[in-house]
Structure 1
């Protein structure tokens, strides 16, 4: 597994070392549904060639309470103005995980 995937997995499974954002649609859901959705993100392991073609473990989807959810990790520079020049270097990268409803995409 490449270093970016290892860093993304560490962030996704602990929510440490970056920022976690939720879309307005997710934010409007009951707290118990939001909590379960975040647990699903943290434990996600169903990476395939279709949803992870670059082997970076930066995207996933799942169904919960009759809704489809997407999550995505993006890598920015430390100032969060541009994409990271080197996502494999945590000192130069801020990871942002966004959880959204598929219907919001």
Structure 2
């Protein structure tokens, strides 16, 4: 049986994971790890503070993807709870892309 979550519940789970790193697992890609601890912390702080979601990157209102800039890098973060029915134990991935 699959539980269907409404967007409000999914958004709440994603926001909690993004802000507190609780309720799931954080995965830093090799590019983020290579930046060192100080820049990693700067990136995680920016991800936690990120709250600018719009219809282009968040069409379902679930806060399951964010694009931002931190530590002079373009950062993409994706949270785990975008799959309907997934209640806990997801993985948030933080990745970097080159800034133009």
Scaled by the length of structure 2, the TM-score of the pair is 0.82
Match 2:35 to one of 9, 18, 29: 29
- Give the Å deviation of 1:66: 3.0
Q: Which runs of 4+ in 1 moved over 2 A?
A: none
State the secondary structure of the residue aligned to 2:80: strand
In structure 2, relative to structure 1, the CA distance for the partners of 1:27 and 1:56 (3 Å cut) is same
Partner in structure 2 of residue 96 of structure 1: 91
Farther off after superposition, 59-68 or 4-13: 59-68
C-alpha deviation, 1:84, in angstroms: 5.5
Structural RMSD (CA):
1.9
For structure 1, the 5+ residue unaligned runs are 76-82
- The alignment partner of 1:16 has SS state of coil
The number of residue pairs the alignment matches comes to 92
- For residues 64-87 of structure 1, what are the alpha-carbon distances to aligned partners after superposition, in whole Å with 9 as ceiling and x for unaligned? 233211000124xxxxxxx96603
User: TM-score if structure 1 supplies the norm length?
Assistant: 0.78
SS of 1:96's equivalent in the other structure is strand
